[in-house]
Structure formats: structure tokens, C-alpha cells
Amino acid sequence: MNEYPFGNIIDVDEPHSYNCVVWGYLPGHSQLLIRLYKEDFLDESLYLGFDTVIYFEGPMSWVGVDFQLGQPDECKKLLKKIGINVAKEALEEFLRLRRLFIINRPEGQIRIFAGNVHLVKEIPKIFRNGLKG
């Protein structure tokens, strides 16, 4: 099995039909929440929760949830670009625990460098508590 698949890694039907909105970020926990909905903002939603986020690049909203995983060389280039220095002997383990999630769009890439992603049907409790005034 290819560790860095080229196809969509988010298990939803018709990934190109979802509207995506950055719904929240908890800096103390390095967690990013993206809301997914099909047609109307009031439609039933799904959420993507990214853990251990170290980088986000992209607009606050877009169409399509067809994420692919970046290759190790892309990850290394991004780490260098954003000034995160990982000792050579620790780099393999660092990249084993994190992934570069990428969506390619004609207007540019959306990139999220994070530890993991979870698809859920409700806003995770940490966001419900963390987003209260």
C-alpha cells in the first residue's frame, strides 16, 4: 500500500461537491476545525478536525474536500520555508507523526501540515468549550 496516496484521503461521496469553511482554531491545542456542507450553509454538516497543526495555507473557504498527502520531499521543503528545524536524525520520526494535507485548486494550493485528521458529524467537544466567549 502506498503510504502517500494520490487519491482523495477523506472518505466522503462526491468530495468536489462540499463547501469548506475554516470553522475554528485552538492555538493552545494546535487544532483546526473545518466545516463541510453540500449546498446551503444551513445544510447538515460534517467537520474535519486536524490535530497538531503546525501550518495552514489557504483561504478561509473553498469548494472541494479532495485532500491528498504530500510527499516527504514536499514536507521537508515546507519545514525549511517556515523555519522549523528538525535534527536530521529525528526527521524521519517527525514526518512519520505528521502529514502534509494538500488540495490543488486552479487558484492555488490549500496546505495543512498536521498530525492527523478526523471526519466527524458534530463539532468536537474541545471546540464547543473552546469557542465559548
Give tens-digit pLDDT for 47-104.
999 999 999 999 999 999 999 999 999 999 999 999 999 999 999 999 999 999 999 9
Q: Is residue 123 part of a domain?
A: yes
The residue type at 119: L
Confirm if 67 and 9 have CB atoms less than 8 A apart.
yes
Query: In this structure, which long-range contacts are made by residues 12-15, counting pairs with CB atoms below 8 Å and at least 24 apart in sequence?
Result: 12/36, 12/46, 12/65, 12/119, 15/64, 15/65, 15/66
- What's the predicted TM-score (pTM) here? 0.86
Q: pLDDT by residue (tens digit) across 29-40? A: 899 999 999 987
Q: Is residue 97 part of a domain?
A: yes
Q: How many domains does the chain have?
A: 1
Decide if pLDDT at 111 tops 60.
Answer: yes
Determine the structural domain holding residue 113 and report its residue range.
Answer: 15-130
The residue type at 122: E
